[in-house]
Amino acid sequence: EPEVTQTPSHQVTQMGQEVILRCVPISNHLYFYWYRQILGQKVEFLVSFYNNEISEKSEIFDDQFSVERPDGSNFTLKIRSTKLEDSAMYFCASSDGTAAITDTQYFGPGTRLTVL
C-alpha cells in the first residue's frame, strides 16, 4: 500500500542552524501538507502546497519557514534559523485532491526535530 515517507526520523540541531526536513508524498497525490506537534500538544497545521505554490498557511508559518518541491517526488520543509521552540515532531501529509468537499490526508511517520 502506498505511503508517505519522511527523512530523517530524528534530527538534532543547534539553535540558529538551518534544517531541511524531507518528505516523499504518495505518488499520484497533488496536495501536500506540513504539520507539527510540540510534545504533549495538538497537531497543528503549518502549510499546504498545490501546483508548486503555497495554497494555505497558518500563523505559525512565518518567514523562517519555507517549502519546496525540488523534483517530482520530494517535498521539503526548511527552517532557516532554528529556535528552541521549533523542537517538535513534524508530519508531512498528502491527499489526491479529487474530493470536492473533503479530501483524505495521509500522514507520514514524522521527523522529530530537537533544537539544542
> Which residues bind to other proteins, rule: CB under 8 A?
4, 31, 33, 35, 41-48, 50, 55-56, 58, 89, 91, 93, 95, 97, 99-110, 112
Quick one: 13 or 96, whose CB is closer to other proteins? Answer: 96
Tell me how far, at minimum, the Cβ of 104 lies from other proteins, in Å: 6
Tell me how far, at minimum, the Cβ of 16 lies from other proteins, in Å: 26
Contacts of 33 (CB under 8 A, 6+ apart): 45, 46, 47, 48, 49, 92, 93, 94, 95, 105
Tell me how far, at minimum, the Cβ of 83 lies from other proteins, in Å: 22
Lookup: cell for 63 = 518567514
Quick one: 69 or 112, whose CB is closer to other proteins? Answer: 112
At residue 39, what is the residue type? L
Supply the Cα-derived Rg of the chain in whole angstroms.
Answer: 14
- Residues across the chain: 116
